[in-house]
Structure 1
Amino acid sequence: MLEDSYGRRFHYLRLSITEACNFRCQYCLPDGYDGPPNSAFLQLEEIQTLISAFAQMGTSKVRITGGEPSLRRDFCDVIAHAAATPGIERVATTSHGARLFKDGLRWADAGLDQVNISIDSLDPNQFASITGQDKLQQILKGIDLAVEAGIKVKINTVLLQDFNANRLNRFLAWLKKTPVTLRFIELMETGDHHEFFARQHVSGEPIRRKLIEEGWQPLLREKNAGPAQEYYHPDYAGRIGLIMPYSKDFCKSCNRLRVAANGKLHLCLFSEQGLDIRPYLAQGDVQGVKQFITEALSDKSVSHFLQEGKTGATRNLAMLGG
């Protein structure tokens, strides 16, 4: 089992397979993507080596991220390999969801267990303003299809000051009958967006207090779960989670490692630099990958230090998939 010097165990791999995305979210790529093509990123054989190595070290969950992972033509092949790897119990992905209605059943057939979809507003005009795409209704149709297909669905919503009014009430009304988990995520500061962060950051704590006042109850956290504090209510089909990276002891429960699409290991979303493991991946050297990662973990820091304004090498969230 992978374990760092602070006793944290790592059951969860977040694997980015592309930095490309065709949305223009205000907090990530407001000017659009202008980076390397998918041919520059990890190839399927390298991905297979990587997942096999992590599985042999106790990883039980793989989340395939981007950019937008569905932009890769071999996306279903990546899902299928992860699902077929001994030791991997759950395969998830994070997507903007625009292709979910068209391709979701293919993803499920390949072995996808869970999908996280980014919806920052249920108001079509606000959604288009935030993302640069007028595709909310298409995405909601895809979510309905995924739920019917048995895929576990979570919705990611970034808290933004300009779009905060009435959002909670609209989402609560939707969750009455929609069996998904909605997670409110505090905006995180990145290298390209210092001024945007200063204008738009909103704490999730007032929402947490309001939920508790209205009878929402906390859920126990699974070993390979993400960092969200999740709540349920007997009157609602859906659940609500809060991801508050600026809260005290947020990093204490860290259980995931990240590999970027360029083949670099990141011990933290906001680490100063990635550690290049691609030479081992290119050679199909599972043992070399395992040894490299085990040794690298001794340098994992106790905190991301976001609260001190340190954003590391993360220019935008598309680089590592959040």
Structure 2
Amino acid sequence: MLQDKMGRKFHYLRLSITDVCNFKCTYCLPDGYQCDSPRDFLSTSEIGNLVATFASLGTSKVRITGGEPALRKDLAQIIQLCRQQAGITDVALTTNGFNLARNIDKWVDAGLTALNVSIDSLDPKMFSAITGHDKLESILAGLNKAHQLGLKKIKINAVLMRQYNGQDVQDYIDWLKDKPYTLRFIELMQTGDNLQFFKQNHVSGLEIKKLLLEQGWLPVIRDKSAGPAEEFYHPDYQGRVGLIMPYGQDFCASCNRLRVSALGKLHLCLFSEQGIDIRQYLQQPQQQAELTELLHGYLQDKAPSHYLQQGFTGGTQHLAMLGG
């Protein structure tokens, strides 16, 4: 089992397969994708060797991210590669949903077990203003199709922004009355290129937590492979609410994931200063022992916190670099 010097165990790999994104979200890529890095992304063979190594070290969950991972035509093959590894019980996908309705059946057939879709507003005009695309109706249709296909773990991600969707929290909660999804409110995070936007738009998740408790929502007990969200349920609602509050106390104490970029760099934290290039160890299955030794060694350098509270953003210029 992968473990750091603080005793945190890592069951969860977040794997970016591209940093390209076709949306222009105000909080991430307001000017669109700039193509300012090499596009020599990990091959399916390299991904297979990587996931096999992590699985042998106790990883049970792989989340495929981007950029927008559905821009890769071999996404279904990558899902299947991950799911076929012994020990991997959960293969999740985080997507903006632009082609969800068209492809979700193919992804589920390949072995997808969980789906996260970014929906930063339930109002079509505001959704378009935030993302630069008029795709809300299509995305909601894709969610419904995913549910009809029997996918049990469906989550909606909404980044809270005071000047955009900051007043829509109750609308989201009401929407969950008859929707079997988990809606996760995510605090806007400061990155290398959004300081002014962050200052104008950051909303504390503690405000939402107070509202939920006042309305009778109750906390859900966390599973070992769960992400950092505090989740809540209500007996009168089909859906659940999650809060991701990276500026909250002890947020990093429950860290259980490592990240690998689309270029084969290991990131010990979303906000680490730089990635560690491990791509040379992904070329052949025989290199698994060498990579295993390196991973154990690198984890001894994992910091106890991301230090976001002090304004430290590390090398993360925008969230599309690593999929958040």
Q: TM-score range by the shorter chain?
A: over 0.9
Once the two structures are TM-superposed, the CA of residue 165 in structure 1 deviates from its matched residue by 4.7
- Asked if structure 1 preserves the Cα contact closer than 8 Å seen for 2:120 and 2:165, the reply is no
Spell out structure 1 runs of 4+ moving beyond 4 A: 36-39
Alignment-derived partner of residue 94 in structure 2: 94
Q: Which residue of 2 aligns with 1:220?
A: 221
Aligned to 2:44: 44
Deviation at 1:164, TM superposition (A): 3.7
Q: Which runs of 5+ in 2 are unaligned?
A: none
Shift of 1:106: 0.3
Contact 1:161–1:202, Cα closer than 8 Å, also in 2: yes
In the alignment, the residues of structure 2 paired with residue 38 and residue 154 of structure 1 have an alpha-carbon distance, to the nearest angstrom, of 31
In structure 1, distance between residues paired with 2:176 and 2:8: 34
For the residues of structure 2 that align with 1:224 and 1:49, how far apart are their CA atoms?
22
User: How far did residue 286 of structure 1 move?
Assistant: 1.5
The CA deviation at 1:235 is 0.5
Structure-1-length-normalised TM-score: 0.98
- In the aligned structure 1, how far is the partner of 2:173 from the partner of 2:208? 12
The residue aligned with 2:188 is 187
Instruction: Map residues 3-14 of structure 1 onto 2, 5 A cutoff.
Output: 3-14=3-14
Q: Where do 1:151-170 residues align within 5 Å? A: 151=151, 152-170=153-171
Q: Which residue of 1 aligns with 2:108?
A: 108
Deviation by residue 1:224-245 (Cα, 9 ceiling, x = unmatched) = 0000000000110100000000
Aligned to 1:25: 25
8 Å contact kept, 1:16–1:260: yes
Matched residue of 2:183: which SS? strand
Secondary structure in 2 matching 1:162:
coil
Instruction: State percent identity of aligned pairs.
Output: 56
Shift of 1:166: 3.7
Report what 1:302 is aligned to: 304
**Preserved CA contact (<8 Å) 1:20 1:37:** no
Change in 2 beyond 3 A, CA 1:100/1:63:
same
Question: What is the match of residue 318 of structure 2?
Answer: 316
Distance 2:238 2:176 in 1: 6
Note the C-alpha offset of 1:79: 0.0
Q: 1:253-306: per-residue Cα shift (whole Å, max 9, x none)?
A: 000000000100000000001000001112442112211111100000000000
Cα separation, 1, equivalents of 2:279 and 2:14:
16
Map 1:225-244; keep pairs closer than 5 Å.
Answer: 225-244=226-245
Partners in 1 of 2:147 and 2:275 — Cα distance?
36
Q: Aligned residues, how many? A: 322
| Aligned twin of 1:292 | 294
Q: Is 1:248 aligned with 2:220?
A: no
CA RMSD across the alignment? 1.1
TM-score, normalization: structure 2?
0.98
